[in-house]
Copies of this chain bind each other. A is one copy, B any other.
Amino acid sequence: MTVTIYDVAREAKVSMATVSRVLNGNPNVKPETRKKVKDVIERLDYRPNAVARGLASKKTTTVGVIIPDISNLYYSSLARGLDDIAEMYNYQIIITNTDNDPEKERDAFLGLISKQVDGIVFLGGALNEETLNDIKGSHLPVVICGTSEKDENMPSVNIDYYEAIKEAASKFLEEGAEQIAFVKASYSEQLERHIEEGIKAAYQEKNKDFDEQYILSAAEDYQSGKSLFGKIQELKSDVVITMSDETAIGVLHGAMDHNIAVPDEIQIMSCSNTRLVNMVRPPLSSVALPLYDIGAVGMRLLTKYMNEETVEEANVILPYKIEYRATTK
């Protein structure tokens, strides 16, 4: 029925071991033998069974990706970077959506373990305590992209959120902003802390007090941003910084609906920079995270762990850039 390595061996009049060797590019094969085997492989249209291979070698060339929601542009941009590099290194990715639900997250993780993935990439959101312990217990290489963990020793790829937010906030303050509202949409306490510290540092540098009530929360979608506008108006903020682009666009439209001029009366900036930023008018100013690159670098980092290469820096910080478009002065 299906042609196996045994069929190839028989046809080529060599042993399975030799076929296996040419399959795996083992140099210990005489060129003629190699050619002979390759010819038979081609003639029989033989395709190695990766499952059998995985069982025998304990390597599946598959990595798991745990992601809050693939239909969110932020995460799917990361995922695209991930997959491109995975493909380059001959890995395939199993993607599982969790909606940031700890239970789904744990199930996803256990599922991936049982599938014997060679590594796992965790995207965005927060890793709950229990899963985190499972991960550590599993001795599987894991890389976290686009979010920070309590245990900051876990390999990760990020930008320097503290610096980014501080830089953005400072600029606003310098130019006369009075009250910056910050809308967090992250599920990672750690990440939120970095960000809050960034804002506070900016205020401190200007010798201004920061009022905690200007830190708001919203889900990372359009509607949440829109609903939040009332609150923002109440607070009389003249600047709003959000994590998610969608949230920022929601706020923007909230402002437009209330006839508040953007950026004259209120400035809006996000911290994400998906392709959405150019698809609204006015174009959204944003801290530009290199989303694709974060994914790509994350996967590259993971391959290093999987191949037991030495890694110099487990916590990669990628550069960010602040794109001032038309929602800021």
Contact A93 B92 (CB under 8 A): no
Query: Known: A80-B70, A222-B279. Is A94-B92 also a contact (CB below 8 A)?
Result: yes
For this complex, 14 residue pairs linking A to B, each with C-beta atoms less than 8 Å apart, are: A47-B110, A50-B114, A50-B116, A51-B60, A51-B116, A52-B55, A55-B55, A62-B94, A69-B80, A79-B95, A83-B96, A92-B112, A93-B95, A222-B279
Interface membership of A71, Cβ < 8 A: yes
A71's partner among B80, B222, B253, B278 (CB-CB below 8 A) is B80
Residues of B within 8 A of A249 (CB): 279
Contacting B at CB under 8 A, from A13-67, are 47-52, 54-55, 60, 62
Contact with B along A212-240 (1 / 0, CB 8 A): 00000000011000000000000000000
> By the criterion of a CB under 8 Å from any partner CB, how many residues of chain A are at the interface?
48
Contact B114 A49 (CB under 8 A): yes
Q: Contact partner of A70 among B83, B94, B110, B111, CB < 8 A? A: B83
| 8 A-B pairs with least C-beta separation | A71-B80, A76-B76, A50-B114, A71-B76, A51-B54, A50-B115, A51-B116, A71-B77
Known contacts being A51-B51, A97-B84, A222-B275, is A70 close to B62, with CB within 8 Å?
Answer: no
Is A311 close to B, CB under 8 A? no
Is A276 located at the chain interface by the 8 A CB criterion?
A: yes
Per the bound structure, the CA–CA distance linking A51 and B72 in Å amounts to 31
Q: Does A113 contact B (CB under 8 A)?
A: yes
CB contacts (< 8 Å) of A49 on chain B: these are 55, 114, 116
B96 and A92 contacting across the interface, CB-CB below 8 Å: yes
